[in-house]
Chain A
Amino acid sequence: MNFESRHWLWLLLLPFIGLLWVPFYNFHDPVLFGFPFFYWYQLAWVPVTAFLTWIAYRTYSHED
């Protein structure tokens, strides 16, 4: 792992910040497809986290 790629690992902290600071998302509005913000915001973090992890994954060499 080179120094440059290590920077990408910091992205993995974003889900912790986005999800553990509850005042960011404990709202009813805006509603999306009938889901209050509280629910779709947290559900949206699933693909976002997978994407951020994928970016971090790309910086490693793959042995298989």
Chain B
Amino acid sequence: MKTDIDQTALAVFLFFFALVTVMGFVAARWRRPATLAHLDEWGLGGRQFGTWITWFLVGGDFYTAYTVIAVPALVYSVGAYGFFALPYTIIVYPFVFAVMPRLWQVAKDSGYVTAADVVHGRYGSRALELAVAITGVIAVMPYIALQLIGMATAIRALGIAGELPLIAAFVVLALYTYSSGLRAPALIAFVKDAMIYIAVIAAIALIPGKLGGYAAVFDAADQAFKAKGTGGILLAPNQYVAYATLAFGSALAAFMYPHTLTGIFASRSATTIRKNAVLLPAYTLMLGLLALLGYMGHAAHLKLASNNDVVPALFQTLFPSWFAGFAFAAIAIGALVPAAVMSIGAANLFTRNFWKAYVNPAITDAGEAKVAKITSLVVKLGALLVILYLPTQFALDLQLLGGMWILQTLPALIFGLYTRWFTAPALLTGWVVGMGVGTFLAWIDGLKPLHALTFGDSTVTVYVGLIAFAANVAAAIVVNIVVVSLGRGKQDGLATPR
């Protein structure tokens, strides 16, 4: 990759960055409420985002900058296996369609802002609420750090060295999130998503032409994997279960995160969410085609210092510099939207389920908004420090663990929407077992997301998050049977929700 600063690319980059910065601050006046000093306004944009705003916001927040960098990078390095992101982001929408309108209704009816609010409201258990809240915060923190990695990759591709630009970009982001709340990423998402679509459509339409067509791209990748001796453009038989369980487990976990749930809770209606389950797959189509940029990297014979450079290097090598600058701006801005929503989601959790629960139960609406705004600054600062002072691998490992951890909150959050059978002690036990099993298996496997299970003489490799989830549900059912039968014996026991 080139290391000298490209003036044209830099100018285009700065133009778009300045544009979204202005939009971020102006957003406070967009669909202006009577006051922003209320968590429903700052943290959920007033719960009035309709179909299109939700489409851009959830799309901008679920398909993150890190995705744009990391999915093609994984496909570049391992081939077909990296493609699991495609089935994952397809089957997630039938799940969203079936489950999320119910969750939205519960949150709307009782004024809940976070997943942990829903759990506390349903089971009356502070312990279960805290478990869900802590899981949300620790799962989303490394995710914010990864957005910084995505942004840093784009800035480095411009030929700018040093950490100052990254710090500056993040300070700007922190300030407009502080002042505008969820309205800032919602407004910026329009620009971000449009830019990402333009960059990706240009890439998938034009790059194969320069490289001899899609058949040649797949052939080049096939040759490269054969020469390397690992990976391939089809799955090896021992990867089947890993591929399917990663896709399924990731799909179940995706909308348990604070940032995706924030997008759901901010919707105007259940219909808004159902419509989005129909419309959001457009982003999945883009992601699937974007993943193929990994193979185009092989066809273009790129020499890369890091797999993560495959997307920037393709744009730099095959497009004029103004368009490369546009694409890098798209990636960097692409990091701002999810980073903002993630910090808002974490701040909402801290405010509602820690501050209000333990520090100041009598807090006013304005007080809640104030605490959340300050927390969003602290959260972003924490992510920045992690990236600046800890090895990148630390954030990557934590994000991977975060995916399996957040999946362990699904029974507490979702089961109660369908049945009144489960009790708080059972779900809490399930959460402890799931977190323990998942973390232990990942730990003994050297922080890998896959674990080999042996049944008799056959071995299958399974996504650890899903193994932990199965243990979680099994433990919850067993404990609940005990709790319910004890409760019947004593007439009024643990089984009664407080």
Q: Interface on A for B, CB 8 Å cutoff?
A: 9, 12-13, 15-16, 19-23, 26-28, 31, 33-36, 38-39, 42-43, 45-47, 49-50, 52-54, 56-57, 60, 62-64
A31 touches B93 (CB 8 A): no
Known: A19-B87, A53-B278. A64 touches B271 (CB 8 A): yes
B214 touches A34 (CB 8 A): yes
> Which residues from B are CB-within-8-Å of A35?
214, 218
Overall SS of chain A's interface: helix
A22 to B234, CA, bound (A): 11
A38 to B79, CA, bound (A): 12
A22 touches B244 (CB 8 A): yes
Known: A12-B97, A19-B91, A43-B285. A54 touches B278 (CB 8 A): yes
Looking at the complex, which one of A16, A43, A54 makes contact with B91 (CB distance below 8 Å)? A16
By size class, the interface of chain B is 35 or more
Looking at the complex, which one of A19, A26, A33, A38 makes contact with B90 (CB distance below 8 Å)? A19
B213 touches A34 (CB 8 A): yes
> Which residues from B are CB-within-8-Å of A43?
86, 285, 288-289
Q: Interface on B for A, CB 8 Å cutoff?
A: 50, 80, 83, 86-87, 90-91, 93-94, 97-98, 208, 213-218, 233-235, 240-241, 243-244, 247-248, 268-272, 274-275, 277-279, 281-282, 284-285, 288-289, 292
B215 touches A26 (CB 8 A): no
Known: A22-B240, A63-B270. A46 touches B218 (CB 8 A): no
B244 touches A21 (CB 8 A): yes
Chain A CB within 10 Å — which of B93, B208, B270, B279 has the most?
Answer: B93
A57 touches B97 (CB 8 A): yes
Would you give the shortest CB distance from B216 to chain A, in whole angstroms? 8
> Which residues from B are CB-within-8-Å of A34?
208, 213-218
A53 to B97, CA, bound (A): 8
